[in-house]
């Protein structure tokens, strides 16, 4: 495991704490001595992650809250502060596309389910804003904190079908810059905001879009691999190095950036 000694003893809140990518990020933080507030909607799923953290010699607490529920997040913040007295890092990993908001090949933009579209935008944009408001406030009081948003390849060049997801993730890149400027101006250089833009990683949310039931690639999955110079999907643990760098003093002059971890996808013109 990659090591980063200045993270020992820090406290991180990870939203979407029972997710696949967040699982790898949590393992990387735990291996470096970071205590974790695991935030998500289901206690049973969070408890499984907490068991793994304990087996790996780490410390965590489960925080049951929806990322869109300010008052539940405030309760979660109180719980973290009462246990550990501080919050150093917030990772906004809750998110993902939603089936109802995806335009299928035989569907039309003009028939889109507006409620589902609003839902995907709420989760993928407001779902990072609201935790940043709640947990960022306690960071601002000491002028020290590190917020990491999770963007996507579809932010800078939107992908077909996922209209709301793409727009919301584009909003995340803009929000990352806006918050970085605001926080550095008002709370000093100890308050940093950055984002990671993962390329394509096989997870539950995209499994059916990218692979057939027998595990072979769909034509969309094949297009993605063909447009990834490294010729494969990413492994979740390949996000850890970038996360640790962004959370540590190794990147202390870096704020307002979105770092792609994508096997070269965003660099490739397709030709
Ligand atoms: N998988 C990929 O290839 C990929 C690529 C780019 C970006 N991302 C982004 O990475 C992040 C993590 O994705 P993942 O692939 O690990 O997905 P995942 O579905 O495994 O994890 C997302 C987690 O968020 C939780 N969640 C959903 N709605 C929530 C809510 N309202 N409140 C609290 N928790 C909620 C889910 O229960 C789940 O545990 C997401 O923001 C996703 O958009 C993923």
Please tell me if the CB atom of residue 150 comes closer than 6 angstroms to any atom of ligand 1: yes
Indicate which residue's Cα is closest to atom 36 of ligand 1: 16
User: Does the global pTM surpass 0.75?
Assistant: yes
Sequential DSSP letters for 139-190:
HHTTT-EEEEEE--TTTTSPPSS-HHHHHHHHHHHHHHHHHHHHHHHHH-TT
Residue 5 has pLDDT above 90, yes or no: no
Provide the residue ranges of all domains of the chain, joining segments of one domain with +.
5-199+234-259
- Residue 2: the pLDDT is 80
Place of tokens 């447009």: 227
pLDDT digit string, tens, across residues 32-50 = 999 999 999 999 999 999 9
Indicate which residue's Cα is closest to atom 43 of ligand 1: 96
Give CA–CA dist 26/34, Å, rounded.
9
CA–centroid distance, 238 to ligand 1, in Å, is 16
Please tell me if the CB atom of residue 202 comes closer than 6 angstroms to any atom of ligand 1: no
Give CA–CA dist 225/219, Å, rounded.
10
Indicate which residue's Cα is closest to atom 41 of ligand 1: 95
Instruction: Report, as residue numbers or ranges, the catalytic residues.
Output: 165
- Residue 99: the pLDDT is 85
CA distances to 111, 220, 252, 259 from 173, rounded to whole Å, are 28, 24, 19, 10
Give the strand order in the sheet containing 145-150. Answer: 60-64, 35-40, 11-15, 89-92, 145-150, 191-198, 258-261
Instruction: Yes or no: say if 62 and 50 are a contact pair by the CB < 8 Å rule.
Output: yes
Return the CATH number of the domain spanning residue range 5-199+234-259.
Answer: 3.40.50.720
pLDDT digit string, tens, across residues 150-191 = 999 999 999 999 999 999 999 999 999 999 999 999 999 999
Mean pLDDT of 228-255: 97
Please tell me if the CB atom of residue 94 comes closer than 6 angstroms to any atom of ligand 1: yes
Residue 241 has pLDDT above 90, yes or no: yes
Backbone angles phi and psi of 192, in degrees to 5: -115, 150
Mean pLDDT of 20-30: 97
- Residue 155: the pLDDT is 97
First to last CA, the chain: 36
């Amino acid at each position: 495991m990659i090591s980063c000694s200045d993270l020992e003893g820090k406290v991180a809140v990870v939203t979407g704490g029972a997710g696949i990518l967040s699982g790898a990020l949590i393992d990387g933080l735990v291996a470096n001595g970071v205590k974790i507030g695991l935030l998500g909607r289901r206690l049973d799923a969070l408890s499984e992650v907490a068991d793994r953290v304990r087996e790996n010699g780490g410390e965590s607490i489960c925080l049951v809250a929806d990322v869109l529920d300010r008052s539940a997040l405030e309760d979660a913040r109180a719980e973290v502060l009462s246990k550990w007295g501080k919050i150093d890092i917030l990772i906004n990993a809750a998110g993902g596309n939603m089936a109802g908001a995806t335009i299928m090949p035989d569907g039309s933009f003009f028939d889109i389910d507006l409620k589902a579209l609003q839902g995907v935008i709420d989760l993928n944009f407001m779902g990072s804003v609201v935790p940043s408001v709640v947990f960022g406030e306690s960071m601002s009081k000491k002028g020290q904190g590190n917020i990491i948003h999770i963007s996507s390849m579809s932010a800078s060049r939107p992908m077909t079908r996922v209209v709301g997801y793409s727009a919301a993730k584009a909003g995340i890149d803009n929000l990352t810059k806006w918050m970085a400027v605001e926080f550095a101006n008002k709370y000093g250089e100890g308050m940093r905001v950055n984002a990671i833009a993962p390329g394509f990683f096989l997870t539950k949310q995209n499994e059916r879009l990218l692979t057939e039931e027998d595990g072979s690639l769909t034509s969309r999955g094949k297009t993605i691999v063909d447009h990834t110079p490294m010729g494969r999907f990413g492994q979740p643990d390949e996000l850890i190095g970038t996360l640790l760098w962004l959370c540590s003093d190794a990147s202390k002059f870096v704020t307002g950036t979105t770092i792609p971890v994508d096997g070269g996808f965003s660099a490739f013109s397709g030709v």
